[in-house]
Structure 1
Amino acid sequence: MARVYRFNQLGGPDVLQLEELKLAPPGPHEVRLRIHAIGLNRADVMFRRGTYVLQARFPSRLGYEASGTVTDIGTGVTNFRVGDEVSVLPPDDPGVYGTYADEMNIPADSLIHKPPTLSFEAAAASWMQYLTAWGGVMHACRLQRDQYVVITAAVSSVGIAALEIALHAGAIPIAVTRKSDRHDVLRKMGIRHIIVSDGPGLCTEIEKITGANGLDCAFDAVGGPFLAELAAAMKPFGRIIIHGYLSNEITSFPVQTAIRKSLTVEGYFFAEILRSRTLRNDASGFLLEGMITGKLNVMIDRIFRFEEMPEAHRYMESENRSGKVVVIV
């Protein structure tokens, strides 16, 4: 039997129910994983509420990240052995392969070996935000050394990951946040350019930093009035990559600015990185090197116990976080 969190209706944290489910032997190309730690993401909260890009089918599991130890393997698995320590890469459908469990069967292709220098907590809290950030900043934005990149929602886990990756790539990141009290977090990371903004006036602040060079790209999690402001600050042929819609305001497309400057405005979803073997290998190579050398350091905000999952979700919905929330099993 495995202990698994599922939910049967959309709603708040109290819809999460801890159940005991019979766990069959791993099927072909699957492994059985004993989970030690689970990384929580804003996507988990949105999936539970019904506001995410994917919709739950009840009864639904949830959860994108975890780390643990392989305890059994199915036929056809050649790259993992019993006893291997691994991280779970975000699955296509968290309703089917959700990681909120103490044990689960999962396709071997969804796993990556855990570097011995990473704790289980860090290994469970790395891949969702770093894959999202790498795909947006390095792949979609095509960021180059010495280019300016704006990263909105900068103190979120994805925002922090994107800032780290931009620094690692030799670019010049500009952090945009609504939270003036989190500047110490960003300064400790080595971020020199920080803007506090809700949208209006953002273009002027960006231009003070970029000067005649102009803004090369933006990795935006907000939408709403930010999009027009980012477009106005862009240099010709700049790229705006939208990966979220945190704003409650309507996002209007700045068509005249986009035409005049030949801008690219592109929606982005992390799954495109995992669906491509080439992109997955490029991303994992870059990220593992950064994690092993210490250039990428997952920031864990708070740790909860497995039995405290609803409480962990309530904390996820607060505005007081800087970094990841982790649940230990």
Structure 2
Amino acid sequence: MVRTIRFHELGGPEVLRIEDVPVRSPGPGEVRIRVDAIGLNRAEVNFRRGSYFDQPALPAGLGTEAAGEVLEVGPGVDRWQPGDAVSVVPAFSQNDYPVYAEQAVVPVAALLARPPGMDAVAGAAIWMPYVTVYGMVAEVVRVRPGDHVVITAASNSIGMAALQVVRQLGAVPIATTPAAGQRDALLAAGAAEVLVHAELTEPGAVATAIRAATGGHGADLVLDAVGGPLVEQLVRACAPGATVIVHGGLSGEPTPLPAGRYAPVWLRRYTVFEVTGDPAALRRAEHFVRAGLATGAFAPIIDRVFDFDDVAAAHRYIDSDERAPGKPVLRVHPTP
């Protein structure tokens, strides 16, 4: 029996319970790990509410991103051995392999070796943001030096990773954020310019500000975590032939196909599963991230670390306006 975070009904953080649940032995293509730290994402908040694209099968567990140590391998697994320090990347349904627990069974296809010297907290925070960004800027499109790349909601973990990646590729990152309090942190993280939505309230002001930030050229690529009506302005702000990739839905509103006359722009949805579900693409992403870590170009930015017992407070924090830039992490065991 291991302590496991589950919920028996949809709702707010108060529905989360810590329960003693049996953990099974791993089957073919699976391993059992000791979970030392868990990367927290808004996907889990939405899953708990029932507003995620994957609906929970109650009682449900949570989580797809973690770091820990292999305890047991299933039949036919020869890549991993007990004692290996690993990270788990999102590559499965939370219904099938939840990781909000002291131990978890996960598929080997979702495992990556932790870089030497990286602790579990960083190991739970590093892969999902950088792999997500890699997929957009290297698999979906190819970012070129000098491209103007707009990154919305740039203070979340994917946005902070995107600032580093875009800079490393020689492009110009332009960050957007809801409030001015994030401006200094985003500039320090590499943004060439920060646009604050609270200061851009007039109709069309976001598109106008993006065009001004690009010297009138327009955005070559937009990485949008917000969705909803904002997408119309993002499309309006683009240069001909640009791409707008909607990889999140923070607005909680439908994202309509923009109407009217615009420069030709490619608008598409994207999730990290496009990379993590493709072994060849995940291998390329892993090499890309490891190279950035080795040179110091990439460094995970940890927002706050919560203890396992404080999971409800962690979920309230994820959904609040108090968040600082970076990734919140849930610590399960003392970080080895």
Change (3 A) 1:237 1:77: same
After TM superposition, the structure 1 = structure 2 runs for residues 196-275 of structure 1, keeping only pairs within 5 Å, are 196-197=196-197, 200-257=204-261, 260-275=262-277
Out of 120-129 and 211-220, give the one that drifted further: 211-220
Q: Contact between 1:33 and 1:72, CA under 8 Å: does it hold in 2?
A: yes
C-alpha separation in 1, matches of 2:255 and 2:25: 47
After TM superposition, the structure 1 = structure 2 runs for residues 288-303 of structure 1, keeping only pairs within 5 Å, are 288-303=290-305
Q: CA RMSD in A?
A: 1.6
SS, match of residue 100 in structure 1: coil
C-alpha separation in 2, matches of 1:11 and 1:115: 37
Gaps of 5+ in 1: none
Q: Give the C-alpha shift of residue 37 in structure 1.
A: 0.7
Q: Give the C-alpha shift of residue 61 in structure 1.
A: 0.9
How many pairs align? 327
SS, match of residue 94 in structure 1: coil
Q: Give the C-alpha shift of residue 249 in structure 1.
A: 5.0
C-alpha separation in 2, matches of 1:49 and 1:240: 28
Aligned position for 2:167: 167
Q: Say whether 1:277 aligns with 2:258.
A: no
C-alpha separation in 1, matches of 2:64 and 2:22: 21
Q: Give the AA of the match of 1:276.
A: D
Q: Contact between 2:143 and 2:171, CA under 8 Å: does it hold in 1?
A: yes
Q: Contact between 1:273 and 1:279, CA under 8 Å: does it hold in 2?
A: yes
C-alpha separation in 2, matches of 1:110 and 1:8: 26
Q: Give the AA of the match of 1:216.
A: D
C-alpha separation in 2, matches of 1:37 and 1:250: 33
C-alpha separation in 2, matches of 1:125 and 1:65: 8
After TM superposition, the structure 1 = structure 2 runs for residues 7-26 of structure 1, keeping only pairs within 5 Å, are 7-26=7-26
Aligned position for 2:81: 81
> Identity of aligned pairs, percent?
40
Q: Contact between 1:31 and 1:105, CA under 8 Å: does it hold in 2?
A: yes
Q: Give the C-alpha shift of residue 212 in structure 1.
A: 4.5
- Spell out, residue by residue over 1:54-100, the C-alpha distance to the aligned partner (whole angstroms, 9 max, x if none): 11111111112110011111111111111110000113201221110
Q: Give the AA of the match of 1:325.
A: P
Q: 1:327 aligns with which of 301, 321, 330?
A: 330
C-alpha separation in 2, matches of 1:318 and 1:212: 35
Q: 2:319 aligns with which of 290, 307, 317?
A: 317
C-alpha separation in 1, matches of 2:244 and 2:238: 9
C-alpha separation in 1, matches of 2:175 and 2:214: 13
- Spell out, residue by residue over 1:140-183, the C-alpha distance to the aligned partner (whole angstroms, 9 max, x if none): 24312210110100111111111111111111110011121111
After TM superposition, the structure 1 = structure 2 runs for residues 107-186 of structure 1, keeping only pairs within 5 Å, are 107-186=107-186
C-alpha separation in 1, matches of 2:133 and 2:142: 12
Q: Give the AA of the match of 2:43.
A: A
C-alpha separation in 1, matches of 2:171 and 2:259: 28
- Spell out, residue by residue over 1:276-328, the C-alpha distance to the aligned partner (whole angstroms, 9 max, x if none): 12211111111122123321111111111111111211121211112111111
SS, match of residue 96 in structure 1: coil
C-alpha separation in 2, matches of 1:112 and 1:252: 37
Q: Contact between 2:91 and 2:109, CA under 8 Å: does it hold in 1?
A: no
C-alpha separation in 1, matches of 2:143 and 2:98: 32
- Spell out, residue by residue over 1:256-283, the C-alpha distance to the aligned partner (whole angstroms, 9 max, x if none): 33xx522110011111111212211111
* TM-score normalised by L of structure 2: 0.93
Out of 228-237 and 136-145, give the one that drifted further: 136-145
Q: Give the AA of the match of 1:9.
A: E
Q: Contact between 2:246 and 2:269, CA under 8 Å: does it hold in 1?
A: yes
Q: Say whether 1:92 aligns with 2:92.
A: yes
- Spell out, residue by residue over 1:17-52, the C-alpha distance to the aligned partner (whole angstroms, 9 max, x if none): 111122222212211101111111111111111111
Gaps of 5+ in 2: none
Q: Contact between 1:141 and 1:219, CA under 8 Å: does it hold in 2?
A: no
Q: Give the AA of the match of 2:248.
A: G
Aligned position for 2:41: 41
